[in-house]
Amino acid sequence: MKKAIVVGSGAGGATIAKELQGKFDVTIVEEGKDFRPFRANLELIERLKKTHLLFDERMISLLFPAMKVRISNGGMVVVNGSGPGGTTTICTANGIRHDNDLKAIGINLDREFEELAEEVPISTDHMKLWHDHTQMVFDACDKMGLHPLPTPKMAYAGRCASCGRCVFGCVRGAKWDTRQFVIRAMEKGATLVTNAKVRRLVIESGQVIGVDASIGTQRKFYRADLVVLAAGGLGTPFILRNSGIECQQRLFVDPVICIAARWNGSGQNKEIPMPFIVQRDQFIISPYFDFVSFFFNRRWNIPSDDIYSLMIKLADSSCGDVRDGKIGKSLSSEDNRIVAEGVFLCKEIFKSLGIDSDRTFLGTVNAGHPGGMLPLTESEAKTLHHDILPANLYVADSTLFPESLGNPPILTIMAMAKRIGKICLSNADA
């Protein structure tokens, strides 16, 4: 049986590993260690915050290794997951289809989205768990003609305890993540290797013959007939460049900035994040308690139970780069214009609820959806394979997206990875 190496076990990696196992003998190489939810008492961390010992967002990784935090040269906090399941373990489980840019270049993933709907629990059953304050915000947005829609969640609502800790990993198994696909791949014979950082591809005569990885202080070579890179929008370009394959100097990250207000007793910190979404042309608005801002931003200096926050997530420009592990990214003038538009709209929403602007405050700019450094084009719509890549090397993550989605990308990445898996299987039969 031919061997396949899949680098990464997040949305793209886990999906394609499940698809390939059987026709290929798959080894999933994952940089992080086994995932464990963060179980510490958040009230204790809130008290620690008052000592001013929490002064750098990168300290999160010391407390919660599964959450990797870096800061760009523009001061933007960039977060991703590390470990089996990748970022899906620390996301808010949004099951949103957002593939307009892929459709525009001729990629139709209808069948893949239909298949995922059969494999993954996606529903809006969480609506019955909304707090009164969130229902009030939803109704206010509706009255303003903003057409809010409940967010489809990849979750089992019946298991949810409304603890608000989705981004720290779900301790009750209510939130679905791609570890389920990893398990299914392993049940069919796949191998999972954790704590193994792939450094480079080994290429001979124009073909990839395997990958070099570091496991602690040891180096190991994994031989393969097929390699799929799904290490994320920052990790995949790192590996490609280390292997002599140059990516484009462009990077989007779907930046988030929250505008919050004092709303006594709102309790948003103990509620499902992003319960509904307001879609605008270049950004979305959604209720979201921003723990990064709460723990590290001095403006967020009131009790967590009394903060209500609205997220502005924008489809940012692709003016950025990542090289040698350093992220070059800041908001462009156009990005700042879109943020200002979003802040104004959020203040209008709060105003409709009787909350004046002087009770609002901004959060820290952070991001968690990097991509776009090897974007697909119309000429690659059929194969989903770049001409600059060896024939037996594929990419299956947000690195392929032509533009920022400005929306949760996980379901779309999974659908794209499914299609790439089918193409790889078809090529193996040829």
Could you report the per-residue pLDDT of 53-77, keeping only the tens digit for each?
A: 777 888 888 889 999 999 999 999 9
SS3 111: helix
Name the token pair of 136: 């009030």
What does the alpha-carbon distance between residue 199 and residue 206 come to, in Å, rounded to a whole number?
Answer: 18
SS3 158: helix
The whole-number pLDDT of residue 206 equals 94
Asked if residue 255 lies in contact with residue 267, where contact means CB atoms within 8 angstroms, the answer is no
- CB neighbour list of residue 200: distance below 8 Å, 6 or more residues apart: 211, 212, 239, 242, 243
pLDDT digit string (tens) for 403-412? 999 999 999 9
Q: What is the mean pLDDT of residues 8-12?
A: 98
Q: Does residue 362 share a domain with residue 260?
A: yes
Q: Does residue 336 share a domain with residue 318?
A: yes
The whole-number pLDDT of residue 430 equals 67
Q: How many domains does the chain have?
A: 2
Q: Does residue 338 share a domain with residue 194?
A: no
Q: What is the mean pLDDT of residues 9-36?
A: 97
DSSP string, 281-338: SSEEEEE---HHHHHH-TT--S-GGGEEEEEEEE-----EEEETTEEEE---HHHHHH
In a domain, 358, yes or no: yes
SS3 87: helix
Q: Does residue 403 share a domain with residue 389?
A: yes
Query: Last residue of some domain: 367, 386, 420?
Result: 367
pLDDT digit string (tens) for 366-389? 999 999 999 999 999 999 999 999
The secondary structure of residue 378, as a DSSP letter, is G
Q: Does residue 260 share a domain with residue 150?
A: yes
In a domain, 75, yes or no: no
Q: Does residue 242 share a domain with residue 164?
A: no
Query: Last residue of some domain: 367, 385, 419?
Result: 367
Q: What is the mean pLDDT of residues 150-176?
A: 94
pLDDT digit string (tens) for 92-140? 999 999 999 999 999 999 999 999 999 999 999 999 999 999 999 999 9
Q: Does residue 162 share a domain with residue 245?
A: no
What does the alpha-carbon distance between residue 108 and residue 42 come to, in Å, rounded to a whole number?
Answer: 43
Nearest one of 19, 21, 27, 13 to 81, comparing CA atoms: 13
Neighbouring C-beta atoms of residue 204, cutoff 10 Å: 9
In a domain, 262, yes or no: yes
In a domain, 289, yes or no: yes
Q: Does residue 284 share a domain with residue 215?
A: no
SS3 400: helix
Q: What is the mean pLDDT of residues 234-243?
A: 96
The whole-number pLDDT of residue 46 equals 77
pLDDT digit string (tens) for 263-289? 999 999 999 999 999 999 999 999 999
Q: Does residue 315 share a domain with residue 390?
A: no
pLDDT digit string (tens) for 178-206? 999 999 999 999 999 999 999 999 999 99
What does the alpha-carbon distance between residue 41 and residue 195 come to, in Å, rounded to a whole number?
Answer: 27
- CB neighbour list of residue 393: distance below 8 Å, 6 or more residues apart: 201, 208, 226, 227, 228, 229
Nearest one of 174, 185, 131, 143 to 16, comparing CA atoms: 185
* Backbone φ and ψ of 422, nearest 5°: -65, -40
In a domain, 245, yes or no: yes
pLDDT digit string (tens) for 335-351? 999 999 999 999 999 99
In a domain, 199, yes or no: yes
Q: Which domain holds residue 288?
A: 124-169+255-367
Q: What is the mean pLDDT of residues 30-41?
A: 91
What does the alpha-carbon distance between residue 15 and residue 119 come to, in Å, rounded to a whole number?
Answer: 11
Q: What is the mean pLDDT of residues 298-320?
A: 95
Instruction: Share the mean pLDDT of the chain.
Output: 95
pLDDT digit string (tens) for 354-365? 999 989 999 999
The whole-number pLDDT of residue 21 equals 98
Share of the chain above pLDDT 90, in %: 90
Q: Does residue 293 share a domain with residue 163?
A: yes
Q: Does residue 354 share a domain with residue 259?
A: yes
Query: Last residue of some domain: 336, 367, 398?
Result: 367
Q: Does residue 391 share a domain with residue 323?
A: no
The secondary structure of residue 371, as a DSSP letter, is B
In a domain, 42, yes or no: no
In a domain, 43, yes or no: no
